[in-house]
Amino acid sequence: MKSEIVVTNPVIECILSRSAAKYYDPATPLSDEQIRELVRIGTSAPTSFHLQNWRFIAVRTPEAKARLSPIAWNQPAIKDAAVTFIVCGQLVETSVIPERLAPLVEAGVMPASMVPEWEVPARNLYMAYPQRRRDEAVRTATFGAAAMIYAARSMGLGSTPMIGFDDEAVHREFGLAGDEVPVLLLSVGAERAGNWAQKPRRPVAEVLDLV
C-alpha cells in the first residue's frame, strides 16, 4: 500500500519555488532599510553556542560594485542585482561567549550559572583545532545566507549564492579582519525576465538513508 503525505503551506511554497537568479533588474534598488531587514532576518539563523560569528558587507553602490566585480569573475549579478552581500564567517573565538550570552541572561532566557557550561565545552571543542574553528565560520555564514535567501524569496526578490570570486582579493579589497572568512557572495534583488526554470533534483531515494 502506498501512502503519500503532502504538506503545503506558504513557508514550504517559498522553499520549493526558489531558484538561483541569473538575471536581475538593475533599475530596481533596495533601500538600506530593506537591506538591514534582510540581515536582521539572516541573523535569526542558528549558530553554534549562539556565537553569531558572522558579518555581512552589503555592496550596493556603483562604486562598491565596481570594486567587487573584477574580483568576482565579473559575474553580471554583482552589477545588476540591487545588493551583493559578502557573507563573512568569523573563526570561532570562544572567549566572546559570555558577552554573546549576556543579553539572554538579561532577558531571563538563560540562567547566568549556565554561561560557563557553554563556554568551557565550546573552548574544548574548538580552540585547539583550527579546522573546526574555520568549519564553524563556514557553517555560520551558510546558515545566515540561507535564511536571507528564503526571506528574499518571500519578499518576491531573487537571490544568487556565489562562490565564483577571489577570496584573497575580496579579503584585501573590503578590509576583512584576520579572523574573517569571505564564505560566499549573495546577490539579492528584483529579477528580470529570462531566468531559468527550476532544475530537477536527484531523487530522494538516492540521497536519503533511513536507518
Residues lying near ligand FMN in the complex (CB under 6 A) are found at 19-20, 75, 160-164, 184, 199
Q: What's the start-to-end Cα distance of the chain, in Å? A: 21
Distance of CA 78 to CAs 19, 66, 81, 89, 102, Å?
17, 9, 6, 20, 38
| Residue 81 to residue 21: CA distance in whole angstroms | 9
Please, what is the minimum distance in Å from the beta carbon of residue 44 to ligand FMN? 20
Please, what is the minimum distance in Å from the beta carbon of residue 158 to ligand FMN? 10
Nearer to ligand FMN, 42 or 100 (CB): 42
User: How deeply is 41 buried, as exposed, middle or buried, from its count of CB atoms within 10 A (0-12, 13-18, 19+)?
Assistant: middle
Q: Running DSSP on this structure, what letter comes out for residue 128?
A: T
Could you tell me which residues are beta bridge partners of residue 55? Answer: 88
Strands 54-59 and 158-162 come out as: unpaired
Nearer to ligand FMN, 178 or 194 (CB): 194
Q: Which residue's beta carbon is nearest to the bound ligand FMN?
A: 164
Please, what is the minimum distance in Å from the beta carbon of residue 105 to ligand FMN? 36
Please, what is the minimum distance in Å from the beta carbon of residue 183 to ligand FMN? 9
Question: In the structure grid, which three cell numbers stand for residue 122, read together?
Answer: 565550546
Nearer to ligand FMN, 64 or 183 (CB): 183
What backbone phi and psi angles, to 5 degrees, belong to 20?
Answer: -75, 130
Nearer to ligand FMN, 94 or 160 (CB): 160
Nearer to ligand FMN, 42 or 126 (CB): 42
Please, what is the minimum distance in Å from the beta carbon of residue 104 to ligand FMN? 31
| Residue 87 to residue 18: CA distance in whole angstroms | 20
Question: In the structure grid, which three cell numbers stand for residue 107, read together?
Answer: 532577558
